[in-house]
Amino acid sequence: MVNESIRIGIANDASSLRKLSLLSYNQLAQYDSPSCYKLCAISRASGILAARKKSLKRGFATRTPYAVRQQLVSCYRFRVKNIGLEIPIARGRHISIPLTRHTLDIISQPRVKVRSFTLTRNRLSLCISREVAPVECVSTVGVDRNLRNLTVGNDQETRHYDLSRTVRIASTTMRMVASFRRDDARIRRIIAAKYGERRTARTGQLLHATTKTIVAVAVQRREAIVLEDIQGIRALYRKGNGQTRNYRGRMNGWSFSEAQRQLEYKARWAGLPVIHLSRRETRGSSIVCPRCGERLQSDTRLARKLWCGKCRLVMDRDRVAAVNLARRGRVRFARSRPPILLEAQGGAVEAVKGNPTPTVIPGVDAPKLTHPTKS
């Protein structure tokens, strides 16, 4: 149904959801499927066509889009019954998918609702939401993201979380993929993709444990989380910039956006405000003395430590960045406190429903299908 909607959209030069729905909804009557799945298929096709139109406007060469991955997405006509998720497959017929104990514990919590589901060949993901009360914060805490660590702190205390294991995982994966000698590019690509997924899963788990601790401590101390803007940092590590190939590989494999994503959704799930500094506010956060404001000096004998020529302060550069981010975030927090507290409540809009919902957290997984049941 998605590919049929894409074909209709290309033939009629339609990419908006409203126009594509008017053109393709009647054409999808040939499929023996509940109407809710047709609406979601049109919505997915509209997103694909909108991305194609945007690429064409920018002058990029694009292929004719075609959805390969089979998946079923809907936010209608499903329910959690007993220990399974019942979804319609035809008129008067439902199929039940058993849910794990962890999933049942999550969705049975107070004020938690299941908004939609995504079903693939081997995975079921539930999109859930929860109404949270905003945390009244009394201070801020800066998060400095680095390749081998996450440094969190403010004027009172600074904590250092070691992530050097992620660098070792990445280097090991790259070395194993580079050692492939089979004379078949297709097989090498498939095996390399499996190793890449394994690397992503292991790195994500390490970041999950770290970000969970950071948010828990911030909630306990009622501290708003301040994040720096480091978009465009990939441009610093390109060929011709004076770095070695291995160094560029390590820096370009840095999962700085994944750490930010996890911090954001976990903070909003707990009702904790997240302050995003602009690039102008982020500039110079690791080279300005937090005591007097002078530019810090470096010395090869001090490793990652910097010193101030005016107040003679010697401090780790990661700690300097965390303290400066916390201070700049505190200024923003004091200047625009009500909007930040409203932001902590979160918000999301379903692609088809169009109704505002509370904080939405996707990715609660469940196992495979079971036998169909009668409604």
Residues 232 and 302 in one domain: yes
What does the pLDDT average to over 107-124?
Answer: 89
Within a domain: 180: no
Which pLDDT score, from 0 to 100, does residue 346 have?
Answer: 41
Tell me what percent of the residues of the chain surpass a pLDDT of 90: 36
Within a domain: 171: no
Residues 76 and 51 in one domain: no
Question: What SS3 state is found at 293?
Answer: coil
Within a domain: 244: yes
- The band of 370, judged by pLDDT with boundaries at 50, 70 and 90, is very low
Residues 231 and 276 in one domain: yes
Residues 231 and 358 in one domain: no
pLDDT tens per residue across span 141-190 = 999 998 899 999 998 889 999 999 999 999 999 888 888 887 888 888 89
Residues 151 and 286 in one domain: yes
pLDDT tens per residue across span 254-298 = 888 899 999 999 999 999 999 999 888 888 888 888 888 888 888
Domain extent for 42: 2-57
Within a domain: 187: no
Which pLDDT score, from 0 to 100, does residue 199 have?
Answer: 93
* Cβ count near 292 (within 10 Å): 11
Residues 247 and 328 in one domain: yes
Residues 234 and 334 in one domain: yes
Split into its structural domains, the chain has a count of 3
pLDDT tens per residue across span 230-254 = 887 777 888 887 788 888 888 888 8
Residue 150 buriedness (CB in 10 A; 0-12 / 13-18 / 19+):
buried
Strands 274-276 and 223-227, sheet pairing? parallel
Residues 156 and 301 in one domain: yes
**pLDDT(347) > 50:** no
Within a domain: 66: no
The number of angstroms, rounded, from the C-alpha of 50 to the middle of its chain's C-alpha atoms is 21
Residues 357 and 332 in one domain: no
* Cβ count near 39 (within 10 Å): 22
**Length of the chain counted residue by residue:** 375
Q: Where are the alpha helices (DSSP H) in 179-255?
A: 185-221, 245-252
